[in-house]
Structures are given as structure tokens and as C-alpha cells.
Amino acid sequence: MKMPVKALKKEMQMINVSGKTKLYGIVADPIGQVKAPEMMRKVFEQRGIDGVLMPMHVAPKDLSAFTQALRGIQNFGGMVVTVPHKTTIGVLCDEITAAARTVGAVNIVRRDPDGRLFGDILDGRGFVAGLRLHGIEPKGKKILLAGAGGAANAIAFALAEAGATQLAVYNRSADKVRAMFARLAPVYPQVELVLGTRDPRGYDLVVNATSLGMASADPLPLDANLLNAEQTVAEIIMAPALTPLLAAAQAKGCRIQYGAPMLASQIELMADFMGAK
């Protein structure tokens, strides 16, 4: 959609783009659902940063060429990385943190002045901080996690780090769960790891870390009929806010946690990592 010149001018004034403005991005496919541009704008405003974070719609087949080109953009500070690139972008970076290596995913990349790209993962820490902000404590809890992709791995590590006593993981592809456990077990031997199923009975906290729920035709990630009012159900999907899983959980009387706090809690961490402080 073309923006009228007047509206465009107003928008540019609001974010004050000039030749000195530093460029940041969020790379995703699809892109329309991302919230980081607006959220980072607020952080930059609060911090007095002359920067703008733009949406970058890049398909998996183009990610390598895109990443290479970023090295040459001298006013590029870094980017948020989301679906479906989090598990593939790590090998395209020059360096990643130990946490990102263990989790097997990257969701934030900084471009250093020499063009080197440095990746980290902040999903898990953001998710746990978001839970705690709403008074939900994972320590000592039995938790069922749906998913074993990039976000799920980060969340599993953060929940283990936060002191969960039992972590059951259910995923369409069970081999990914076994691979996750092989990485988790040596680091957190005190956490009981269980190959989960679609049955959420017996868990204090149930977390959806699959992408199921972004599209209205998606099946539920687990059997919501078996939920009860003693349980808390948390999402990582931000749009729609009330996913079919959360709606079903609410109908069962569960406490629900939306996806938004996870990003809200880590957006400041992301700005810090990209050097926008």
C-alpha cells in the first residue's frame, strides 16, 4: 500500500530519520505480525537513541545472501531474528554466545563496526522474566512444553535454569525433543526430563512454544479438553493475542499468560545487546 506523501513526512518526522540515523532490523517470514518495530521505537525514544528498527521480509532461501550483505552496511547496528530463521542464522554469524550454541538458536544479532556479526538468544530469559512479571514462578513446578524449535529450546533452558523440577516436552517431531534433552541433561542434571504427549494433565504450567495458533486454521498444539482450573497456560504467540489454545484454556478456568510479555521483557535486553544504550 502506498502511503500519502503527507502521512509519510509525518511518520519520518516522528521517528526523526536523518543521514545519521542508525539502522536496525527484524528479519522474519512472514513479517506482518511482528511487533518489534513499534516496541523498539519506544525504547529508542526513552533512551534518546537516533535509530530505527525496520521490518525485513526475507525467505529462507535468501537468508545467506541477505546476511552477507549486512556486513557491508556500515550504519547497520543489528537485528532481531524470528520465525523461521532462528535455528539457521547461527552458522551465518561470525560468532555466537555459549547460550545460543547450547540452545541451537539465535534471536538477536549485533553488527560490530568491523562488520562482524555476533548472535545471542534472549527468548528464554525474556519468557521467564515475562512470567515473573505477572507473578508466575516456574521454580519447583512441573511444566509441559509444546514444541522443540528455536523458541522452545531457549525456553526449555530458561525454565530449567529457573528451577523447574520436571520438564515434559511434546513435539510433532520427537527426534528434536531427544536432541534437546541431550543438550539439557548435562547442564541441568537435577531437572527431570520427560518425553511429553498431547495430554496436559498433571502439570502446573503448560507452555505453547510451537507456531500453532498463528493461523486460525491451525490445530491446537495439545489436548485442551484435558486442562483444568488449577493450571496456568502460557503462549509465545503474540498475534492473535488470544490464541485458540488460550481461549480453550480460559474456558476451562485456567490462568492464562499471553505471548506479549515475553517480547516486552526482552526488548530492552535486545537493545542493550545491539549496543543501543
Q: Smaller CB distance to ligand ATR: residue 103 or 276?
A: 103
CB of 144 closer than 8 Å to CB of 231: no
Selected from 67, 210, 243, 265, the binder of ligand ATR by CB under 6 A is 210
Q: Smaller CB distance to ligand ATR: residue 108 or 148?
A: 148
**Could you list the active site residues?**
86
- Pick out residues in 80-99 that bind ligand ATR (CB under 6 A): 83-84, 86-87
Angle, to 10 degrees, between the axis of helix 174-187 and the axis of helix 150-161? 30
Q: Which grid coordinates belong to 147?
A: 514444541
CB of 200 closer than 8 Å to CB of 231: yes
Selected from 212, 262, 267, 276, the binder of ligand ATR by CB under 6 A is 212
- 81-110: string of b/e by CB count within 10 Å (b at 16+)? bbbbbbbbbbebbeebbebbebbbbbbbbb
Q: Smaller CB distance to ligand ATR: residue 52 or 89?
A: 89
Is residue 119 near ligand ATR by the rule CB under 6 A?
no
Query: SS3 for 200?
Result: coil
Angle, to 10 degrees, between the axis of helix 150-161 and the axis of helix 123-133? 60
Specify the stretch interacting with ligand ATR by CB under 6 A; choose among 41-49, 142-150, 197-205, 248-256: 142-150
Closest distance to ligand ATR from the beta carbon of 210 (Å): 3
Closest to 209 in 3D by CA, of 100, 268, 102, 128: 128
Alpha-carbon span 22 to 189, nearest angstrom: 43
- Pick out residues in 148-207 that bind ligand ATR (CB under 6 A): 148-152, 171-173, 176
- Which residues, 6+ apart, have CB-to-CB distance to 264 below 8 Å? 39, 130
Q: Smaller CB distance to ligand ATR: residue 63 or 152?
A: 152
Is residue 147 near ligand ATR by the rule CB under 6 A?
yes
Selected from 211, 250, 255, 264, the binder of ligand ATR by CB under 6 A is 211
- Tell me, by CB under 6 A, how many residues bind ligand ATR: 17
Closest distance to ligand ATR from the beta carbon of 85 (Å): 8
- Pick out residues in 20-79 that bind ligand ATR (CB under 6 A): none
Q: Smaller CB distance to ligand ATR: residue 210 or 232?
A: 210
Sequence length of the chain is 277
State the residues that interact with ligand ATR by CB under 6 A: 83-84, 86-87, 147-152, 171-173, 176, 210-212
